Amino acid sequence: MNELLRRMLFLPEQASTFAQDVDHLHYFVIIVTMVSSAAVGLVALGFFWKYRRRSEDQTTPFVAPTAIFEVLAVSVPLAFFLAWFAIGFRDFVKLSSPPPDAMDVYVMGKQWMWKFAYPDGPSSVGVLHVPANRPVRLLITSRDVIHSVFIPAFRVKMDAQPGRYTETWFTATKPGRYQILCTEYCGAQHSKMWGEVVVMAPEAFDEWIKEQQRGLVARADVLADESQVSIQGSLAQWGKQVAVAQGCLRCHNVSGTESATGPSWVDLYQQPTRLADGREIIADEAYLTESMMEPNVKIVAGYQPLMPNYQGKISGPEAAALVEYIKSLRSDRTQQATGGEE
Ligand code: CUA
């Protein structure tokens, strides 16, 4: 039944845990609306025939619907709309809540290609390798204009915006190769801005990533060339270099003591933070990036708005590296992420 409907509606293959949920809602909406509009059309045709004018002096009788008919005419469509909203909202919440154990991949769009980087090293252009049956979170940004990552077989789509991070996640279900498309008109080559997800069996993926890391060690001395934006070594290690080069550590300390100029980076990631305007936010990737690019949007309570704006001064991958570096700064040594101390 599922397969038949999928083919009838020309939907792509279902290759993630979201695909069935999204398609079931799609079938529900399509079937109800198609059946209803067909019924309305047929009844209208029948009435044209049944109530046609039979003579020149025939008058139209006055018909008043009963109260129960009016109540039904409003409540039945309303019930369907509310049901669709409830199901859609449930799916949306699921799509917006990556599980904590998801594997992170940084995605950067630029005219006109996709780049992917794993926190522990490898990066690639155009091809995203992921394991099957494990949740993967995409942290998405753009180096120039707005793009949008769309993986039709997974039924996930998320905008890529310069200067900030957006996120989405999926669990791929079937090894194979699936298209990645850009769905935001981004210039002359927009229609050619595609990539590919390669879903691998989990063991094959582990093998692949080890292979990639071995390759990285071999070319560890090659510097990240901005025109190539190949991200070398551990992102967190690179982030530390960026922090030193950009002078971040003059105001932010990484030793765990508070300083007067800027908030400490130790344990900052995922920490609830009170702002000067009274709001409380969680210091996630989106907040950390925004603080680099538009520092005056959210001022932490107790600090002055002294932070300079780094929009245009640090690139998307450098911002990603800084975020990874901050994420690696945990006071609990057992939680230390990849190479943050190095
Ligand atoms: Cu990138 Cu369209």
Owner of token pair 């971040």: 248
- Comparison of pLDDT for 45 and 322, the residue scoring more: 45
Range of the domain at 175: 103-208
**pLDDT at residue 130 is higher than 80:** yes
- DSSP letter at 66 equals -
Q: Are residues 10 and 91 in the same domain?
A: yes
From 13-17, 154-158, 317-321, the region with the lowest mean pLDDT: 317-321
Q: Is 324 near ligand 1, meaning CB less than 6 Å away? A: no
6-24: pLDDT as tens digits:
888 898 889 999 998 999 9
Q: How far is residue 236 from each of residues 100, 121, 216, 258, measured CA to CA in Å?
A: 19, 9, 14, 22
The answer to the question of residue 53 being in a domain is: no
The answer to the question of residue 226 being in a domain is: no
pLDDT at 269: 84
pLDDT at 258: 64
Q: How is the beta sheet containing 135-142 ordered, strand by strand?
A: 123-125, 113-117, 103-110, 135-142, 166-171
Q: How far is residue 53 from each of residues 62, 63, 247, measured CA to CA in Å?
A: 15, 16, 86
- Comparison of pLDDT for 70 and 305, the residue scoring more: 70
Q: Is 184 near ligand 1, meaning CB less than 6 Å away? A: yes
165-178: pLDDT as tens digits:
889 999 999 999 99
From 120-134, 256-270, 271-285, 325-339, the region with the lowest mean pLDDT: 325-339
Q: Are residues 124 and 192 in the same domain?
A: yes
The answer to the question of residue 230 being in a domain is: no
Q: Is 197 near ligand 1, meaning CB less than 6 Å away? A: no
Domains held by the chain: number: 3
Spacing, Cα 141 to ligand 1 middle (Å): 12
Q: Are residues 200 and 264 in the same domain?
A: no
Among candidate residues 180, 164, 182, 105, the one with its CA nearest the CA of residue 138: 105
pLDDT band at 25 (very low <50, low <70, confident <90, very high): very high
Count of residues in the chain? 342
Taking the alpha carbons at both ends of the chain, their separation in whole angstroms is 55
- Comparison of pLDDT for 202 and 212, the residue scoring more: 202
From 28-42, 86-100, 183-197, 227-241, the region with the lowest mean pLDDT: 227-241
235-244 mean pLDDT: 80
The answer to the question of residue 14 being in a domain is: yes
pTM: 0.64
Q: Are strands 127-131 and 195-200 parallel, antiparallel or unpaired?
A: parallel
pLDDT at 260: 66
CB 18 within 8 A of CB 154: yes
pLDDT at 184: 93
The answer to the question of residue 329 being in a domain is: yes
Spacing, Cα 110 to ligand 1 middle (Å): 8
The answer to the question of residue 170 being in a domain is: yes
Q: Are residues 75 and 36 in the same domain?
A: yes
Q: Are residues 192 and 124 in the same domain?
A: yes
The answer to the question of residue 134 being in a domain is: yes
Nearest CA to ligand 1 atom 1: 147
The answer to the question of residue 222 being in a domain is: no
Q: Are residues 130 and 72 in the same domain?
A: no
Q: What are the backbone angles phi and psi of residue 34, rounded to the nearest 5°?
A: -65, -50
- What CATH number is associated with residue 322? 1.10.760.10
The CA distance from 170 to 156, in Å, is 8
